[in-house]
């Protein structure tokens, strides 16, 4: 089965209007590793994560979207952003989508120049990958509850096993 992908066309007026990018989701192993690194960086950020409700669990983190990267140390944010953007290819030829240029190379050689484009494409790439977070919510719900409560003891009514979460 092919990896999930989408082609994004820049719609907004500006220097890059009409330019196209292919975003291909990471394979399961790399996506899992990237997701775990995101979670670890969030845990290390501690209580500086504003807008996260413990009742939302990991789905709440996914709902924060790309904003969660702003709660990380700069080095972690840059590393996770770089890894995420490895999934992006610039498509310079409207008639042949098999011609691709790596994201970093395309940016460094002026293939796209609008300062809004990286943010748009990064948001799209992130949204393609957050299904990992939504699917992992039951596994990490307790961790985030404890983190946000500032305690290693679960809340009295917090489910602590997979079977309790399913009911």
33-77 confidence digits (pLDDT tens) = 787 777 777 767 664 455 555 455 445 556 666 666 777 778 888
pLDDT at 127 over 70: yes
Dist. CA 66–CA 143, nearest whole Å: 21
- pLDDT for position 34: 81
94-125 CB burial, b ≥16 within 10 A, e <16: eeeeeebbebeebbeeebbebeebbebbbebb
- pLDDT for position 130: 77
DSSP state of 96: -
- pLDDT for position 118: 94
For residue 83, name the pLDDT band (cuts at 50, 70, 90): very high
- pLDDT for position 31: 80
Domain ranges of the chain: 5-166
Rounded mean pLDDT of the chain? Answer: 76
The structure tokens listed for 36 are: 């775990």
Cα 58 to chain centroid distance, Å, stands at 12
- pLDDT for position 63: 60
For residue 86, name the pLDDT band (cuts at 50, 70, 90): very high
pLDDT at 10 over 80: yes
Question: Token match 């140390």: residue?
Answer: 73
- pLDDT for position 152: 47
- pLDDT for position 64: 63
Nearest by Cα to 43 from 157, 125, 117, 142: 142
% of the chain beyond a pLDDT of 90: 38
- Higher-pLDDT residue of 85 and 80 is 85
Averaged pLDDT, 87-109: 96
């Amino acid at each position: 089965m092919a990896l999930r992908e989408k082609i994004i066309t820049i719609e907004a007026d500006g220097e890059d209007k009409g330019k196209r990018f292919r975003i291909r989701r990471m394979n399961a192993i790399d996506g899992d590793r990237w997701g775990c690194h995101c979670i670890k960086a969030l845990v290390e950020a501690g209580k500086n994560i504003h807008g996260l409700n413990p009742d939302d669990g990991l789905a709440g983190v996914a709902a924060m979207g790309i904003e969660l990267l702003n709660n990380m140390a700069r080095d972690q944010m840059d590393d996770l952003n770089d890894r995420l953007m490895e999934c992006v290819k610039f498509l310079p030829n409207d008639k042949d989508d098999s011609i691709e240029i790596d994201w970093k190379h395309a940016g460094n050689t002026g293939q796209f120049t609008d300062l809004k484009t990286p943010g748009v494409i990064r948001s799209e790439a992130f949204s393609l990958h957050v299904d990992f977070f939504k699917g992992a919510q039951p596994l990490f719900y307790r961790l985030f509850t404890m983190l946000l409560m500032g305690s290693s003891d679960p809340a009295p009514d917090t489910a602590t096993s997979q079977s309790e979460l399913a009911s």
